[in-house]
A and B are shown apart, each in its own frame.
Chain A
Amino acid sequence: MKPRTKRFALIAAGIVVLCAAAAFVLNAFQSNLVFFFTPTQVSKGEAPKGRTFRAGGMVKEGSVVRDGNTVRFVITDTVHEMPVTYVGLLPDLFKEGKGVVSQGKLGDDGMFVASEVLAKHDENYMPPEAQHAMDQAAAAKAAKSVQTPATIKGNP
């Protein structure tokens, strides 16, 4: 082979490998995105059935029930609630009335089966997602109670 053909072959092979890698990476990426939904969104049926997603808000006071290694609790954003069941050890900072984010799938009966309850590392720290859920719900509440034309027009 001439040096020029060789160089061309090298570059072409490199591009093919890179394209394959990119296609492969993007494919894996697509199928592993985990979306976040607030309890309000879940109650409206916006969350997908049979696909893993994250839900977060506050652990409702008095909702934690233990049965062996199974834990049931309710996540609330103060407007809507969703029941959750989880098997396994809870993180140290899981507490009633505190923020929580859990990852899992929604069953047909509306029960969220969590595969993971995410830990916080600091008792004063609110997971941003949980904070987001609370803020959304609070904003929706405020918008409803005021009902000015501006908010109705401004938020399609």
Chain B
Amino acid sequence: MIPELGNFALMLAAVVAVMQGVLPIAGTLVRNPQTQITLQSLARPTAALQFVLVAFAFGALAASFLNNDFSVLYVSQHSNSLLPKPYQFAAVWGGHEGSLLLWVLLLSLWTVAVAVFSRSLPLDMVARVIGVLGLISVGFLLFILTTSNPFERLLPAAMDGKDLNPLLQDPGLVIHPPMLYMGYVGMAVAFAFAVSALMSGRLDAAWARWSRPWTVVAWTFLTFGIGLGSWWAYYELGWGGWWFWDPVENASLMPWLVGTALIHSLMVTEKRGSFKAWTVLLAIAAFSLSLLGTFLVRSGVLTSVHAFASDPKRGVFVLIFLAVVVGASLTLFAWRAPRVALGGRMELVSRESFLLANSVLLVVATAAVLLGTIYPLIIDALNMGKLSVGPPYFNAVFAPLLVPTVFLMVPGSVARWRDANVRDIAFKLRWTFAGAVGLAVLLPFALGGWSIGAAFGLFLGCWVALGTAQQVIERVGKPGRIGASFWGQHIAHFGMAVLVIGITGVKCYEVERDVRMQIGDVVTIAPYTFRLNSLDEVRGPNYKAVRADVQVLRDDKVIEILQPEKRRYFSSAMAMTEAGIDSGFMRDLYVSLGEPLDDARTEWSMRVYYKPFVPWLWGGVLLMVLGGVLAALDRRYRK
């Protein structure tokens, strides 16, 4: 009964979404003022109603999971009666159908947020924005109802479920997809604002000011979601890597890169009235790339942890939807953009030009990632053979494009608007530059070995960190209230510096050992010694595991006991490596169990890592998130 109610709510939601998508926008087109107001005023109530209906459907699916209702096909495929309750709930978005439902739920949540926090906006703008969001929602609801209904029944009901993929049974899964989706879907709001501005023909500073906090919030969620995904891959996949250039990671990175360009370009549009067309294109691109990400992940064309059962119908639907969104918005752009007035003048060297350079670099980097991600798919679709583009390509391309981007962060934020002078900037930053060079030359010795790569990476990180600190100190010394967005900007930039230093540290100084170990054996990565103490059989709620006790010694003192596990899940007989990790401020110690090498299972292959600076990666991401939160909370936006 509950699943049927959920299904019914979903159908009603689709009907309401059509109303929300059509009527308010129609209200901006009719002549009669009375009808105008009546139709436009429908935007907020329909958005709220749609949210209630989708939330009900989501709740119905969650209830089916928690009740172990294995007569629902989706539940039987992704849950199991032995699965702990929190994971049963998280399993709602552990598969294709449920994760789409989560997508729509978050979209309607964003829409309600827009409806609530848009009191200061003119009614016609609210009507357009909520209308566009409604149309996007129609597309996704139709997608769910026609190709991916999570409420489909299974007759006769299964005795028990197939269980959630063990890789996904982890606290990381509980929060990673919702955060990432909040980011993806948030880009829809930036997109809706851009499209609404195009429709009205009023691409002005007001539009940029309304759009900015929403875009920053979306960017913040996206940053957090990507960071969580990376963290989860690092400790859960058991291979010690934190970024694989997997197509699905790329799918989330691309909207992030364009979103980063977008929040900076929006700033120029608001402050100086320039770059309007460019900003609109970035907003369209960011959302299109979010949709492309959804397509890549959900169509099953990829070999990945994220690839669920492949069904060509679904891929085709998302592809058509993507074509409609991109086609319609670009047509609207081509029609309306020529009417947009040019913005304020700028000189060759100015804050605008630095920001423009950075957003072009970010877009080029996105294009390079896009090429490497979809080229194999296109070649395969054309039946021209199978190939893949390896991480060396992405590393070779990404670093040279991002290095100037990161370098320009400092001069870009000290340069004056409109007209700046290279000599002034150089003079202002001379000590910062010298300090960064000095640290870059000296620090590698302290970290255990000088190399040009390490020195260069550390220079970039120190440059941004010192440059940021310099600006903060100068600003604090001056009178006047400092806005939250000032802190947001500099904390986020500082986070980037920490991230760059972290990446450099891990890349240049990590040590990896593949060893075979018996009880009592030791392996040394100076100054740490790892000793395999014991191997025990342990039992979890839905798995059995071999757990190793690995003592970590430093100067003959035990500093930590790591307990890597090799799990075997009952429902699927699938083996899983659970790494043992000790995190410090400066480094992680990481041990994972390979496989038994003899029949008695007393000798195991093991992988032992010394990973410096890994905590800095997460620290950098968290600082960027904090920066985003502060920037979005700035008082200016709440007028």
- What is A's interface to B at a CB cutoff of 8 Å? 3, 6, 9-10, 14, 17-18, 21-22, 24-25, 28-29, 32-36, 52, 54, 66, 68-69, 87-90, 92-93, 101, 103, 118-123, 125, 127-129, 132
Contact = CB atoms under 8 A, between A and B. Distances in A.
B392 interface: yes
A122 B595 contact: no
23 contacts: A6-B348, A25-B367, A28-B397, A29-B371, A29-B372, A29-B389, A32-B392, A33-B389, A36-B385, A36-B387, A69-B605, A89-B594, A89-B605, A90-B595, A92-B238, A92-B574, A101-B303, A103-B390, A119-B237, A121-B167, A121-B304, A125-B303, A132-B386
Interface in B376-425: 385-390, 392-393, 396-397, 400-401
Given A25-B364, A89-B607, A122-B574, 4 more contacts: A10-B353, A25-B367, A101-B303, A128-B303
A66 B514 CA distance: 14
Given A21-B364, A89-B605, A92-B577, A32 B514 contact: no
A52 B388 CA distance: 11
Nearest to B597: A66
B590 to A, nearest CB: 13
A30 B567 CA distance: 41
A80 to B, nearest CB: 17
A89 B577 CA distance: 11
Among B303, B375, B397, B576, residue most surrounded by chain A Cβ atoms (within 10 Å)? B303
Contacts of B304: 121
Contacts of B386: 35-36, 54, 128-129, 132
A33 B387 CA distance: 7
Nearest to A27: B396
Contacts of A118: 303
State the 4 A-B residue pairs at the shortest beta-carbon distance, nearest first: A32-B393, A36-B386, A121-B305, A89-B594
A36 B548 CA distance: 38
B165 interface: yes
B364 A122 contact: no
B360 interface: yes
Contacts of A24: 397, 400
B305 A32 contact: no
B390 A32 contact: yes
A19 B290 CA distance: 27
Contact of B393 (A3, A28, A89, A120): A28
Interface residues of B, number: 47
B572 interface: yes
B368 interface: yes
Contacts of B605: 69, 89
A5 B352 CA distance: 18
A34 B390 contact: yes
A36 B388 CA distance: 8
B153 interface: no
B30 to A, nearest CB: 43
B575 interface: yes
A144 B360 CA distance: 55
A121 B575 CA distance: 10
A35 B387 CA distance: 4
A21 B390 contact: no
A121 to B, nearest CB: 4
Interface of B: 165, 167, 237-239, 303-305, 307, 345, 347-348, 353, 360, 364, 367-368, 371-372, 375, 385-390, 392-393, 396-397, 400-401, 514-516, 572-577, 592, 594-595, 597, 605, 607
Contacts of B400: 24
Contacts of B607: 89
Contacts of B239: 119
Contact of A127 (B303, B371, B516): B303
Contacts of A69: 514-516, 605
B28 to A, nearest CB: 37
Contacts of B597: 66
Nearest to A9: B348
Nearest to B400: A24
A88 B608 CA distance: 12
B389 A32 contact: yes
Given A32-B390, A36-B386, A69-B514, A123 B574 contact: yes
B372 A122 contact: no
B268 to A, nearest CB: 15
Nearest to A7: B348
Contact of B574 (A9, A89, A93, A129): A93
B594 A90 contact: yes
A30 to B, nearest CB: 9
A68 B514 CA distance: 10
B203 to A, nearest CB: 21
Contacts of B375: 29
A29 B393 CA distance: 6
A156 to B, nearest CB: 15
A79 to B, nearest CB: 18
Nearest to B347: A6
Contacts of A92: 238, 574-577
Contacts of B572: 123
Given A10-B353, A18-B364, A32-B389, A25 B397 contact: yes
A118 to B, nearest CB: 8
B246 to A, nearest CB: 11
Contacts of A120: 303
Among B401, B572, B577, B595, residue most surrounded by chain A Cβ atoms (within 10 Å)? B595
B115 to A, nearest CB: 39
B96 to A, nearest CB: 13
B44 to A, nearest CB: 43
A121 B397 contact: no
B387 A34 contact: yes
Contacts of A101: 303
A88 B167 CA distance: 21
A32 B305 CA distance: 23
Given A32-B390, A34-B390, A122-B165, A88 B574 contact: no
Contact of A88 (B371, B385, B514): B514
A93 B348 contact: no
A9 to B, nearest CB: 7
A14 B360 contact: yes
B385 A32 contact: no
Contact of A89 (B388, B392, B397, B514): B514
B598 to A, nearest CB: 9
A25 B368 contact: yes
Contacts of B389: 29, 32-34
A24 to B, nearest CB: 7
Nearest to A66: B597
Contacts of B592: 89
Contacts of B353: 10
Contacts of B388: 33-34, 36, 54
Given A6-B348, A10-B348, A89-B514, A35 B573 contact: no
Nearest to A94: B595
